[in-house]
Amino acid sequence: MATRWPLSLESAAPVLTVSGPAGVCMRTRFMRSKGALSSAGFAAFLFLFPGLFFYVCFEIVPLVGTTVLSFTNWNGFDFRQIKLSGFGNFSEITKDHVFWLSLLHNVIFTAGSLTLRLGVALMLALILDQSFPAANFIRGVYLLPTVLSLVTIGVTFKLALSPTLGFIVPFFKAIGLKALAIDNLGNSKTVMQTLVLIDTWCGVGLFMFLFTSKLMTINQDLHEAAKVSGANVFQDIWYVTLPLLKATTAMIMLIGVIESFKIFPTVYIMTNGGPWHSSEVLSSWAYFQAFTANRVGYGSSILFVQLIITVIFAFIQTKYQPREIE
Amino acid sequence: MASRTLNRTIFIVIASPFLLFVGALVLYPVVWMLYSSFKSTSEIFAGVFALPKKLFLGNYRQVFMVGSMGRYFLNSILVTVTSVVGLLVLVALEGYAFAMFNFKGKRVLYIFVLMGFMVPPQALVISGFQLMSTLHLLSTYPALILTYLSWSSFGVLVLRGFYESVPHELTDAARIDGAGHWRLFSTIMVSLAKPALSTVGIFYTMWIYNEFIYPLVYMQRQDMFTIPLGVMFLNTKFITNWGLQMAGLAVATIPPVIIYFIFQKQFVRGIMAGALKG
């Protein structure tokens, strides 16, 4: 009984579906063995309904709600006060310098964190792939941050980074990096890179694990063939392993970009966009607008734009996804 | 052959310190937080790196009495368990439907369901707040539970993949014996799907327990906070009381870590399956 199931995170991208020849075979089979299509339809409906009910009510409806709200200038208090304001919010966005600053921060954050995570994770995965002793235990350790709440991580690092009371500043002083022994979170020049590093800390384990899983499926014969042809470890990695990782890397990048763009709890807890918007991201700015400044309409429009950008990114990335090398 | 073993040994010797260093980097903040929770605040301030001289439990006492962590814990558990159990039922059914039935518009519907991954919680929270407010559900358990029950996309993805991988001989044999879809589903599929369901369950549990944005917005009453919210609250209200905050963090951290170690297999399997192309 096969316990492996053909799960593919790539099918999370809205453009792809998973239905190869096996899917077609199965469908034809069932169509032959089933009777009237209507009974299949009704049964299918029964199975689908519960999940879809909650999904539509509590995910799609709010989504539509946010979209509609982005065309209003509602203050969030009285339903009867909702007035459509057309594209007013969006034209305000174009003049809102905090918005563009936030967008820039999102991009910096995503690019920085993704690059670091991919690089370090790849390195770790390749090292551990060389039949390293206790590899499973080590991987287990690296994966630990994934189970922690972002709030926990945020608060822990916020305390740790305290210039007077935390352990990070004394640590830097001890190893001689005086330049980094400052209030990294409260300094507008260093706050973004600090957030990037913390996000890397959280996310390396997961990426490393994804790479490792893929590496484990690479046919050992390929490595053997390379070694027989006289390749050393580095050539083996460069010519054999890396090309085979292209598809996985692309998939990880796709998911990583979508996830990174959504960043909110870490920023909210650690800096709340400060100091003076130097760590403001789209989500935190939208949250501020909607709940603190009582500009629900404007906040919604910011989120709407963020969503559009995410979707565009996802589409572009899916288009350019390299094919799997067999 | 001998030189290969030598190469390997040299490689391990060189790579080990690096791996250990990375491991330390990963573990230290968490370890620091954990052992600091057993130091009084003044002890912590006296020596940040120092290990506790003896296990000070005052922080934990405080965290439950003054910090209401016990109540938050209850809230978290209640919401998490209800939501996860509900979700497992929903996705088992929905995944089965996508795998076993064929109907018009199935592909479109599936893409529709998968869209759920792209949407950030923040985008939903603003109008979600209005929705919950209209339904008079603010600061109630259902506000969160109903929201989490909409997270079926992940589970559907996994379960559908799983069901599709079940060999047709099994399902055909059952159908020849006259089993209708419901029979097939409840007797065969659910027990077979246990590994898939447990992996999905673990992930959902982690995500829901650790969720921050929805409780932040929906739970306006302090006694309805969930643990992550409680941790943030301790940080903002008891800013100088580090001992208390550490204990709060520890209370928030220990359950997921324990679950992680117990269910590591399922956890690992879930991530691994995600890395392999269909």
Chosen for mutation from B43, B48, B59 (greatest number of chain A CBs closer than 10 Å) is B48
Residue-level pLDDT at A20: 40
Higher pLDDT, A32 or A308: A308
Look at B278 and A8 and tell me if their CB atoms are within 8 Å: yes
| A 84-143 residues inside an 8 A Cβ radius of B | 120, 124, 127-128, 130-133, 138, 140-143
* Contact indicator for A269, A158 with CB cutoff of 8 Å: yes
Residue A151's φ and ψ, nearest 5 degrees, are -65, -45
- Please check whether residue B41 lies inside any domain of the structure: no
Query: Choosing among A18, A59, A127, which should be mutated to test the B contact, i.e. which has the most B CBs within 10 A?
Result: A59
Q: Cβ neighbours of residue B248 under 8 Å, at least 6 residues apart?
A: B63, B67, B69, B230, B231, B234, B235
Is residue A42 within 8 angstroms of chain B, CB to CB? no
Range B179-213 burial, b when 16+ CB lie within 10 A, else e:
bebeebbeebbeebbebbbbbbbbbbbbbbbbbbb
Closest C-alpha among A125, A215, A153 to residue B19 = A125
* Total domains present in chain B: 1
User: Nearest C-alpha of chain A: how many angstroms from B219?
Assistant: 14
In chain A, pLDDT over 70 holds for what percent of residues?
84
Q: What is the mean pLDDT of residues A13-32?
A: 38
SS3 B239: coil
Give the other-Cβ count within 10 Å of B153's Cβ.
23
Q: Do A248 and B275 touch (CB under 8 A)?
A: yes
**C-alpha pair distances (Å), B179 with each of A28, B91, B171, B187, B232:** 19, 21, 9, 10, 52
Q: Do A262 and B120 touch (CB under 8 A)?
A: yes
Convert the pLDDT of each residue in A132-170 to its tens digit.
Answer: 777 778 888 888 898 898 999 999 999 888 888 888 888
Mean local confidence (pLDDT), B101-130: 84
Question: What's the CA gap between B129 and B132, in Å, rounded?
Answer: 5
Nearest CB among A33, A50, A133 relative to B93 is that of A50
Please check whether residue B221 touches A, CB under 8 A: no
Q: Is the confidence at residue B61, as pLDDT, over 80?
A: yes
Q: How far is B162 from chain A (nearest CA, A)?
A: 5
Mean pLDDT over each residue of chain A, to the nearest integer: 78
Per-residue pLDDT band at A201 (split at 50, 70, 90): very high
At A186 the pLDDT is: 80
Residue B30 lies in a domain: no
pLDDT bracket for residue A43 (50, 70, 90): confident
Give the start-to-end residue ranges of the domains of chain A.
90-301
- Split at pLDDT 50, 70, 90, the class of A53 is very high
Say if B253 falls within a structural domain.
yes
Whether the per-residue pLDDT at B39 is higher than 60: the answer is yes
d(CA A215, CA A50): 39
Q: What is the pLDDT of residue B272?
A: 67
Q: Is the predicted pLDDT of residue B85 greater than 90, yes or no?
A: yes
Interface of A with B in 277-296 (CB under 8 A): 283, 286-287, 290-291, 296
Contacts of B152 in chain A (CB under 8 A): 51-52, 54-55
Amino acid of residue B115: M
Determine whether the interchain pair B30/A156 forms a contact, defined as Cβ–Cβ distance below 8 Å: yes
pLDDT bracket for residue A323 (50, 70, 90): low
B13 in a structural domain: no
Which amino acid, A224? Answer: E
B18 — contact with chain A (CB < 8 Å)? Answer: yes
CA atoms within 13 A on the CB side of A9: 22
Note the pLDDT of residue B2: 58
- Residue B1 is assigned to a structural domain of this protein: no
**pLDDT tens figures, A233-269:** 777 777 777 888 887 788 888 888 888 888 898 889 8
pTM over 0.95: no
User: What is the domain extent for residue B149?
Assistant: 57-275
Task: Using CA atoms of A31, A36, A40, A46 in order, give the dihedral in degrees to the nearest 10.
Answer: 180
Q: Say whether pLDDT at A179 is over 80.
A: no
* CB-based contact, A55 to chain B, within 8 Å: yes
Interchain contact B74–A (C-beta under 8 A): no
Work out the average pLDDT over A17-22.
Answer: 39
- The percent of residues in chain A predicted with pLDDT above 90, rounded, is 16
CATH of the domain at B122: 1.10.3720.10
What is the model's pLDDT at position B260? 86
What is the ipTM score, two decimals? 0.84
Is there a domain that residue B148 lies in?
yes
Domain A90-301: give its CATH architecture. Orthogonal Bundle (1.10)
* Look-up of token digits 């170690």: B261
Of B45, B168, B196, which is closest to A26 when you measure between CB atoms?
Answer: B168
**DSSP label of B50:** P
Q: Higher model confidence: residue A324 or residue A70?
A: A70
Q: Is B71 part of any domain?
A: yes
Cα distance between residue A281 and residue A297, in whole Å: 18
A238 in reach of chain B (CB within 8 A): no
Q: Chain B contact for A149, CB < 8 A?
A: yes
